[in-house]
Amino acid sequence: DPSGTFVQLRLGLAQTACRKRAPQRHCRVLESRRKPICLACYKFDTSDVPKVLDKYHNCGPSHHLAAKEIRQRDEAECRAVEEAGKGGDTLYLPGMFAFSRGLPA
């Protein structure tokens, strides 16, 4: 995409029996705990040092009753992130441009 690179990540988190203070490599997953699904979308520009043009992230529970609505909202938000930096509908934010008036000669 000439406007930049779009990245979408979907992660499933699980609670383990390991302690935070003494992390271990192999931890037992606690089966009866919540397992949230996280979605993250990022759009980077094409410069030598990429900057984030737009981003969205949300971690919602997988057992939630309104999971379909959350998924639809997440998809819509990610589509908006993917469109960042394209075409003439670029969003102009306050402070993006500065103008000054010249002094009389």
* DSSP for residue 31: T
C-alpha count within 13 angstroms, C-beta hemisphere, residue 58: 14
Is residue 104 one of the residues assigned to a domain?
no
CA separation for the pair 43, 84 (Å, rounded): 7
pLDDT in the model for residue 101: 62
pLDDT in the model for residue 58: 86
pLDDT, block means (10 residues), the chain with 105 residues:
83 81 77 80 85 85 65 85 70 58 62
Q: Which two tokens stand for residue 4?
A: 């930049």
Q: What is the pTM of this model?
A: 0.59
Is residue 98 one of the residues assigned to a domain?
no
Q: If you count them, how many residues does the chain have?
A: 105
CA separation for the pair 39, 79 (Å, rounded): 13
pLDDT in the model for residue 61: 61
Q: Which two tokens stand for residue 80?
A: 């908006």
Is residue 97 one of the residues assigned to a domain?
no
Number of folded domains in the chain?
A: 1
Sequence-distant (6+) residues with CB within 8 A of 17 are: 27, 28, 29, 30
Is residue 56 one of the residues assigned to a domain?
yes
Is residue 69 one of the residues assigned to a domain?
yes
Is residue 55 one of the residues assigned to a domain?
yes
pLDDT in the model for residue 90: 54
pLDDT in the model for residue 19: 77
Domain that holds residue 33: 5-83
Is residue 17 one of the residues assigned to a domain?
yes
Strand, helix or coil at 72? helix
Is residue 89 one of the residues assigned to a domain?
no
Pairing of strands 52-60, 5-12: unpaired
pLDDT in the model for residue 97: 59
